[in-house]
């Protein structure tokens, strides 16, 4: 900075105001903290009251840096802007934003039930309680209560999984990608696994079947053409190096037209003739038939086991509606080999997952109970009349409280299963469609990301659309609060 003798300073960035004087008006740290303390002492200050002191100090520091920056850029020119009383609302908002958890609740109004970016499945209340119990207390995680000696964590879910799927044995690992990895590593390392070209899928989050196979050390032997694979394609590829035949559920896409995949029973016969294990990566893996609920065509895990797959894997948190997990079921001899694989130690599930999974599986012992209590199933099977009623209720609430700020309409639309499951199936729903009158739809969408909790809907045809399927009825007031905030309605 240069001093021209007039008492004014001029910085290299063209700053010509009395910046020095302004800098001296920036409140002292002590006063800033005192202002935060005063708010914390009030009725609405609980969040600040509980804040770790060092964190609060850092945020106050950052806030003061922000003010300095604003003086430098000329955004602040009037000393009155730097009065503590004028700054306090901004300061408090800044501190609140900095203090809120990074990982937090979101209102999912997208209608995508198994939304991978929003946590996939919500747990049933029974599973939530089991997680809390396992987290807070010691347990028999790996302690055998009949012998008092070391036990196996998998024992807690193996029996229910076998009952529900008809398989001889079961094992659970961290997620389904891990399940594919450990199955191939155990059965096919250094040898070939025969897969149809049409099933070499990318699931999202950069999970690609061919790449996972490569990591396992299995050599991929692709057969058939992209759209059609015949039994003879598999048969021709089988040789001394073949370790297994694998079928992969093309979870997130469907080919239509001139297409052919070989049905599982035919693959089973071929595998048997050649003494090879047949692996199926089912992806979502439903334990119940959902045909009657508008989700046709997906076999249950039990059906796949009955049709002869020797080892089947699927996700715990897709249509099953449990915690993140990769469930492996199949022939005892194979599952036992997988259990002994050293990788298993690295891929194992934790006690909270185990608690949630066992509680979820317990609900499945009565399919009607599962449909009612497992949120993913309940949302997927929600009748259209109920969705229409919820949409009307939400629309009424928003119309009443946001009139003059948004136009509200209810229109028919479609929800999605998500998680790569049932990609063809659109579930009919009723959408609450919002047209903001004072800001753009994109502006509204962005503002809703900064509410607490944030609200995520779908932007289509210049409207923000909210699907009641993935919102709980008790979340409607939060949806209203988020919209109020984003639209600036007091």
Ligand X SMILES: *Cc1c(COP(=O)(O)O)cnc(C)c1O
Q: How far is the CB of 170 from ligand X (least distance, A)?
A: 16
Q: How far is the CB of 321 from ligand X (least distance, A)?
A: 13
Contact between 474 and 397 under an 8 Å Cβ cutoff? The reply is no
| CB closer to ligand X, 165 vs 429 | 165
End-to-end CA distance of the chain: 45
Q: What angle do CA 72, 73, 77 make, to 5 degrees?
A: 80
Question: Out of 224, 321, 326, 436, which residue is the one contacting ligand X (CB under 6 A)?
Answer: 326
Q: Locate tokens 């409140």: which residue?
A: 27
Q: Binders of ligand X: how many residues, by CB under 6 A? A: 15
376 binds ligand X (CB under 6 A): no
Question: What residue is closest to ligand X based on CB?
Answer: 283
Within 10 A of 318 (CB to CB), how many other CB atoms are there? Answer: 27
- For residue 405, the SS3 value is coil
Contact between 323 and 123 under an 8 Å Cβ cutoff? The reply is yes
- What does DSSP say about strands 2-3 and 455-456: parallel, antiparallel, or unpaired? unpaired
420 binds ligand X (CB under 6 A): yes
Contact between 405 and 416 under an 8 Å Cβ cutoff? The reply is no
Rounded to 10 degrees, the C-alpha dihedral 288/292/294/297 comes to 60
Within 10 A of 296 (CB to CB), how many other CB atoms are there? Answer: 12
Q: How far is the CB of 199 from ligand X (least distance, A)?
A: 8
Q: How far is the CB of 173 from ligand X (least distance, A)?
A: 9
Please give the structure tokens belonging to residue 19: 């910046």
Subset of residues 200 to 259 that bind ligand X, contact rule: CB under 6 A: 203, 207, 248-249, 251
Instruction: Name the segment binding ligand X (CB under 6 A); options: 27-35, 107-115, 175-183, 264-272.
Output: 175-183
Measured CA to CA, the distance from residue 213 to residue 229 in angstroms comes to: 20
281 binds ligand X (CB under 6 A): yes
| CB closer to ligand X, 233 vs 281 | 281
> Going residue by residue from 47 to 86, which x/- string records binding to ligand X, judged by CB under 6 A?
----------------------------------------
Contact between 391 and 410 under an 8 Å Cβ cutoff? The reply is yes
Measured CA to CA, the distance from residue 359 to residue 318 in angstroms comes to: 16
Instruction: Name the segment binding ligand X (CB under 6 A); options: 49-57, 68-76, 277-285, 479-487.
Output: 277-285
| CB closer to ligand X, 277 vs 322 | 322
Question: Out of 277, 283, 321, 323, which residue is the one contacting ligand X (CB under 6 A)?
Answer: 283
| CB closer to ligand X, 127 vs 248 | 248
Question: Out of 56, 177, 305, 312, which residue is the one contacting ligand X (CB under 6 A)?
Answer: 177
Chain positions contacting ligand X, by CB under 6 A:
175-177, 180, 203, 207, 248-249, 251, 281, 283-284, 315, 326, 420
């Amino acid at each position: 900075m240069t001093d021209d003798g007039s008492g004014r300073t001029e910085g290299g960035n063209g700053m010509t105001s009395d910046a020095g004087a302004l800098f001296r008006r920036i409140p002292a740290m002590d006063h800033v903290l005192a202002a935060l303390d005063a708010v914390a002492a009030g009725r609405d200050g609980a969040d600040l009251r509980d804040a770790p002191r060092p964190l609060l100090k850092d945020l106050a520091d950052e806030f003061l840096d922000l003010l300095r920056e604003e003086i430098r850029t000329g955004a602040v020119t009037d000393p009155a802007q730097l009065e503590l009383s004028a700054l306090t609302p901004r300061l408090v908002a800044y501190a609140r934003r900095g203090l809120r958890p990074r990982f937090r609740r979101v209102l999912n109004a997208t209608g995508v039930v198994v939304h991978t970016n929003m946590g996939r499945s919500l747990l049933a209340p029974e599973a939530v309680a089991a997680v809390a119990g396992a987290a807070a207390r010691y347990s028999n995680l790996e302690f055998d209560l009949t012998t008092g000696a070391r036990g196996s964590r998998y024992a807690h879910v193996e029996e229910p999984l076998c009952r529900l799927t008809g398989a001889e044995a079961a094992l659970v690992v961290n997620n389904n990608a891990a399940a594919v990895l450990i199955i191939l590593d155990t059965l096919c390392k250094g040898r070939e696994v025969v897969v149809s070209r049409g099933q070499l899928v990318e699931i999202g989050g950069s999970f690609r079947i061919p790449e996972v196979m490569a990591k396992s050390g299995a050599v991929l032997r692709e057969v058939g053409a992209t759209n059609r694979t015949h039994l003879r394609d598999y048969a021709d590829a089988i040789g001394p190096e073949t370790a297994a035949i694998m079928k992969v559920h093309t979870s997130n896409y469907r080919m239509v037209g001139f297409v052919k995949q070989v049905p599982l029973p035919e693959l089973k016969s071929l595998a048997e003739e050649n003494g090879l294990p047949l692996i199926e990566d089912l992806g979502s893996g439903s334990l119940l038939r959902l045909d009657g609920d508008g989700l046709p065509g997906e076999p249950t895990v039990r059906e796949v086991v009955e049709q002869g797959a020797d080892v089947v894997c699927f996700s715990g948190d897709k249509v099953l509606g449990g915690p993140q997990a990769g469930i492996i079921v199949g022939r005892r001899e194979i599952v036992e080999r997988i259990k002994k694989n050293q990788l298993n130690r690295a891929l194992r599930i934790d006690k909270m997952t185990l608690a949630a999974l066992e509680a979820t599986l317990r609900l499945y012992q009565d399919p009607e109970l599962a449909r009612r209590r497992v949120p993913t199933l309940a949302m997927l099977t929600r009748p259209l009349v109920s969705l229409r009623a919820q949409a009307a209720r939400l629309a009424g609430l928003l119309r009443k409280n946001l009139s003059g700020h948004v136009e509200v309409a209810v229109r028919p639309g479609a929800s999605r299963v998500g998680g790569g499951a049932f990609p063809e199936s659109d579930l009919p729903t009723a959408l609450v469609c919002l047209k903001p009158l004072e800001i753009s739809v994109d502006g509204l969408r962005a503002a809703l990301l900064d509410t607490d909790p944030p609200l995520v809907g779908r932007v289509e045809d210049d409207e923000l659309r909210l699907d009641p399927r993935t919102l709980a009825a008790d979340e409607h007031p939060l949806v209203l609060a988020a919209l109020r905030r984003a639209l600036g309605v007091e």
